[in-house]
Structure 1
Amino acid sequence: MTGFGRAVVLAGRCSIAAEARSVNQKGLHVSVSLPDQLASMEQDIRDEIRKRYSRGRIDLRLTVEAAGSSGDALPVDFERAGKLAEAAALIAARLGLDGGISALDLMRLPGVLRASSEPEAPDAGPVLECVASCLDDLTRSRRAEGEALAALMSEHLTRIGSLASEVAAIQQEAVPEAFERMRERVGKLLGDSSRVDEQRLLQELAVMADRLDVCEELERLGCHVSSALDLASSDEPDAGRKLGFLLQELQREINTLGAKLETPAGTMIVVEMKNELSSLREQAANVE
């Protein structure tokens, strides 16, 4: 699932900031970006991420700055500034130039304003606290998307259930019609319906009835839909993987229905079922 999390923790004279992003991916891939002074904590941070998530690509970036550095006066190299000012005055005097160099001009020269020194590495405790808070925020974001995803998946699953009911209604009418068509064809082939072997005809009709009967498929399909609806909205571990297996079973039942349904209306329903199932597969890949 996609999501974003952020947290900031103050630790002594340091400000620790963490940002985490997640995007959809079938397995789990973790990427961690740390400042050099925290490189030794990378494995601990990876372990914390893996404890919480089992799917998706998680990118976490952590930065450390001196607390309040944004409001502090910029460090000035006055010795260098003085030498540059003297050199500017000497050049002006030697060449007979008017005016001198201003403070603003000096600030623009390289080396006058020094970069702030890198803050000391904070203790592990505040760093892990910041990471945990950031991941908590990421989880809330992912959960919000998960709820929306569950609602969308429920719509597709409910639609498949409704289509299954339509199949049952169609077959209830189609089977007797198929029987009658077979009886008529046999009569025409023999030329005299009185010569039809009723016992043999009944045997053939029994075979046809078994071939056209979709009650078991519809019953199993209904069970799979019900189980998938429960998984789509649950916090069960590995719900995404289990949902993937259920969708495979749904695919088998729908394929069997497609082989048994002989009417154009039935065929179109199966096509629509497969379309709904295709959407479900894409969404199930985002469920953890």
Structure 2
Amino acid sequence: MTGFGKVTAELPDKKVTVEIKSLNSKQLDLSVRIPAVYREREMQLRNELLQRLERGKVDLNINVEYIGRDTSARINAAAVAGYYEQIHELAGRLGVPEPTDWFATLLRLPETVRSEAGEVSEAEWQAVHGAVSEAVTRLIDFRTQEGAMLRRVFEQKIGIIGDLLREVDPYEQERVEKIRSRLTENLKKISEVEYDRNRLEQELIYYLEKLDINEEKDRLANHLNYFLRTLDSEHGQGKKLGFIAQEIGREINTLGSKSNHAEMQIIVVRMKDVLEQIKEQILNVL
């Protein structure tokens, strides 16, 4: 979702620089800073950015640098004089030194420089609009490159979880036998208690069925495959990938709660660690 684009348009009397950058956000959060002379076109730019960028905290900045002597910017002499008198009086009252560079100080204050917006020719606007469009294209290209890198990361991480899931298999039968043996041995130690062996076997089967993890393993494998298939979608799927990651997490948690086996629980912890890495990177996906 992050990206950057910068384009400069050369006009006869001015140079227009367009910069646009994007950071992660759940929706499109758009900030536009443009000279007053182009203000009437702002809504058009916003609509175009909404259609092309979909999501992200987007900042668009258009800066105009005048090449010749003619400029629409005008210094507000009255405001400058008023600020000067106030600062001079306040410095004497407080006993603090006056600024050494008056103009640098005064011209940064509000309303000291005004831009007299005039008519923008169609040729000029087409040049500015083309620069904005090209800057957006470069931002999208940046996003695309980042997306290709993220895809490789996701495929690697999902593959690691799949490998860890297969590591569970050797311990599964061992775990069931250990639970059965432990229960049987404990009953043998209580020699004075008589019990129905058939009923005991039924209870053991019921208990072991509650610890069975085959369904969780199947669902987890399906979620991993679904995650990879979703990566192939053309349009933004960041939110959908986030939902799938949540489902993957639920199955991993259930595996951990049912495992009742030290080695399997270690595998589950490793799965959770990899899944957290995936969730962090999903924030970068449209």
Q: TM-score, normalised by structure 1?
A: 0.76
Distance 1:48 1:257 in 2: 47
Asked if residue 281 in structure 1 is aligned to residue 279 in structure 2, the reply is yes
Residue 4 of structure 1 deviates from its aligned partner by 0.8
Cα shift at 1:65:
4.1
- Judge conservation of contact 2:2–2:24 (CA < 8 Å) in 1: yes
Task: Give the C-alpha shift of residue 119 in structure 1.
Answer: 8.7
CA contact (8 A) 1:224 1:250 kept: yes
Q: 1:169 to 1:58 in 2, by over 3 A?
A: same
**For residues 18-167 of structure 1, what are the structure 2 equivalents within 5 Å?**
18-66=18-66, 69=67, 121-123=120-122, 124-167=125-168
Aligned with 1:264 (options 241, 262, 265): 262
- Helix, strand or coil at the partner of 1:238: coil
SS of alignment partner, residue 149 of structure 2: helix
Letter in 2 for 1:17: T
Q: Distance in 2 between matches of 1:171 and 1:54?
A: 46
- Residue identity in the other structure for 1:207: Y
Q: CA deviation at 1:187?
A: 2.0
Q: Which runs of 4+ in 1 moved over 3 A?
A: 9-16, 117-120
- Once the two structures are TM-superposed, the CA of residue 167 in structure 1 deviates from its matched residue by 1.8
1:238-281: CA deviation from partner (whole Å, max 9, x where unpaired): 31010011011111111111110111111111111111111111
Once the two structures are aligned, what percentage of the paired residues are identical? 34
Q: Closer, same or farther in 2 for the Cα pair 1:180/1:122, shift >3 Å?
A: farther
Q: Once the 2 structures are TM-superposed, how far is the Cα of residue 29 of structure 1 from its aligned partner?
A: 0.7
Query: What residue in structure 1 maps to residue 222 of structure 2?
Result: 223
Distance 2:239 2:18 in 1: 30
Please list the CA deviations of residues 58-117 of structure 1 after superposition, one character each: whole Å capped at 9, or x if unmatched: 111113345xx2xx6x68xxxxxxxxxxxxxxxxxxxxxxxxxxxxxxxxxxxxxxxxx9
1:250: which partner in 2?
A: 248
* Separation in structure 1 between the aligned mates of residue 45 and residue 165 of structure 2, nearest angstrom: 48
In structure 2, what is the equivalent of residue 169 of structure 1?
170
Say how many residue pairs are matched.
Answer: 240
Alpha-carbon contact 2:7-2:134 (below 8 Å) kept: yes
- Report the equivalent of 1:5: 5
Instruction: Give the partner amino acid of 1:265.
Output: E
Between the aligned partners of 1:199 and 1:155, the Cα distance in structure 2 is 49
How far apart, CA to CA, are the structure 2 residues paired with 1:45 and 1:172? 63
Residue ranges of structure 2 left out of the alignment (5+ in a row): 71-115
Q: Report the secondary structure of 2:8's partner residue.
A: strand
Measure the CA separation in 1 of the matches of 2:20 and 2:173.
55
Q: Is the 8 A contact 1:14 1:119 kept in 2?
A: no
Query: 1:186, 1:236 → 2: CA distance?
Result: 60
Q: State the Cα distance separating 1:120 from its structure 2 match.
A: 6.0
Q: Which moved more, 1:169-178 or 1:251-260?
A: 169-178
How many angstroms apart in 2 are the aligned matches of 1:130 and 1:246? 39
Local SS of the residue matching 2:206: helix
Question: Displacement of 1:129 after TM fit?
Answer: 2.0
Note if contact 2:35-2:64 (Cα within 8 Å) is conserved in structure 1: yes
The Cα shift of 1:2 comes to: 1.6
* TM-score between the two structures when normalised by the length of structure 2: 0.76
Task: Name the CA distance, whole Å, in 1 between partners of 2:54 and 2:192.
Answer: 69
The one-letter amino acid of 2:205's match is A
Provide the aligned C-alpha RMSD in A: 2.4
CA distances 1:137-166 after superposition (whole Å, capped 9, x unpaired)? 000011111111221222221111111111
Distance 1:163 1:28 in 2: 37
Q: Distance in 2 between matches of 1:16 and 1:191?
A: 95
State the shift of 1:10 in Å. 4.3
The residue matched to 1:16 in structure 2 has which SS? strand
- Please list every run of 5 or more consecutive structure 1 residues that lacks an aligned counterpart in the other structure: 76-116
Tell me which amino acid in the other structure corresponds to 1:213. Answer: D
Contact 2:36 2:117 in 1 (8 A): no
In 1, distance between residues paired with 2:272 and 2:197? Answer: 40
Structure 1 position 46, deviation (Å): 1.0
SS at match of 2:268: helix
